[in-house]
Amino acid sequence: MKNLIQKYNIPGPRYTSYPTVPFWDKDGIAQQDWERTVKKSFDESNEIEGISLYIHLPFCESLCTFCACHKKITKRHEVEEPYLETVLKEWDLYCDLLVERPKIREIHLGGGTPTYFSSENLKKLINGIFKRADKFETFDFSYEGHPNHTTEEQLQTLYDLGSRRNSFGIQDYDPIVQKAIHRIQSFEQVKRVNDLSRKIGYESISHDLIFGLPFQTEESIRNTIKNTIALKPDRIAYYSYAHVPWIKGVGQRGFDENDLPKDSEKRHLYELGKQLFFDNGYVEIGMDHFALPSDSLHKAMESRKLHRNFMGYTAGKTELMIGLGMSSISDSWYAFAQNEKTIEDYTEKVNQGIIPIFRGHLLTETDLIIRKHILNLMCNLETEWKIGLDSEVKNEIVNRLQEIIDDGLIEVSSTKITVKEEGRMFVRNICMAFDLRLLENRPETRVFSMTI
């Protein structure tokens, strides 16, 4: 296995979308094309399945050096209200476009640090969204919280607004690792928000951990997972650290690359964590995720309704996901669009009455077919050939997969491809064989993290 890890540990996409962002059309997407696909998707699906909202709340009080998200570091909380006013103005622009009242099936607050915002302002945000929308018959409202900056009042307010699921960024409990990544929080602080969530009535609590961080060792990972298991979260995301300082600059240069676990050493930390999760009743979900059998994410996997998008794995799919806030990415199924990346540019466009996208991609028929295959592989670890590929393209994909077949990582039949259990860790490499955009436009410079 060590040789296979060295062989396949290459730069590659994480496939939260297809095409992946670096291969979106260089000319972007015309505003009218984006609005047309949003309206088309809404008309097709609003009554049947509802829509999803992702709301990006970008502020943090301090910089975590592992983070690759778009954020704004400030302790000046007077920025809250103007930003939320702009987000609600953007929502009004979409509601004006859609005409009919949206039925919202999912809301996720991401960041940044959503719990940077006061309870009062979080209430204004969600109530403002529902002035022009209704809840779908099944409604899932989740948010991310920082254990150091989440109060009982915030937890209760968000619960009262309809949230039954939250997620806390833990990353690692080791003091040396915490210092290196500038994310210092104690087990007691995490236990406090975890226990308060249980007391209030949250049905699903998720903890995010990262392997491959600087100075991590087998001992530190064992201790981190021991502490995590003690709190028994319903879901655990166990992410591979994506070291991309060439993209994110100074934030990810807070430590030397020599401080990072390498290749098989890093993968050992994952396999160790995975076994500890298994030993405590968790089930592996797709890539990097684990859940208790009682959690909706596991139930979605069992019923083959698991979905993957820019937020990671979700227990359900809506055709239309609207991203609100600076840098948010929206998905109309037929197209992707990303909002302006700075608060200033984002605010300026919204105040001009323009949906504030700055780039995007209108999917071709071929894109849509490949997208379905990659989603199937990422969510179900298999895909069927009957999904739209002609025999020539199919044969080319099989040829590109030949080494992976020879290494015993997948099974290929006349009807489908199935990823074996020993091939699960290489699922990104398997998807790359389908990625026509990547094959046609190999980047001249490194843009992706390592696949393993």
Binding residues for [4Fe-4S] cluster: 60, 64, 67
What are the backbone dihedrals phi and psi of residue 110, each rounded to the nearest 5 degrees, phi first?
Answer: -120, 175
Angle at 327 between CA 324 and CA 328, to 5 degrees: 40
Q: Which two tokens stand for residue 210?
A: 């990262």
Q: How far apart are CA 242 and CA 428, in angstroms?
A: 14
In this structure, is the dihedral angle defined by the CA atoms of residues 102, 107, 112 and 118, taken in order, positive or negative? positive
Most distant CA atoms of the chain, gap in Å: 61
- Given the DSSP bridges, would you call strands 289-291 and 235-240 parallel, antiparallel or unpaired? antiparallel
* Phi, psi dihedral angles at 69 (to 5 degrees): -85, 160
Residues annotated within the binding site for S-adenosyl-L-methionine are: 54, 66-68, 111-113, 144, 171, 183, 208, 242, 329
Residue list for the binding site: 54, 60, 64, 66-68, 111-113, 144, 171, 183, 208, 242, 329
Any idea how long the chain is?
Answer: 452
Residue type at 133? A
From residue 433, alpha-carbon distances to 25, 64, 361, 401 in Å are 20, 34, 21, 6
Q: For residues 385 and 375, give the distance between their C-alpha atoms in angstroms, rounded to a whole number.
A: 14
| Distance between CA atoms of residues 28 and 178, nearest Å | 39
Least Cα distance to 361 among 24, 17, 5 occurs for 24
Query: Tokens standing for 250?
Result: 């100074």
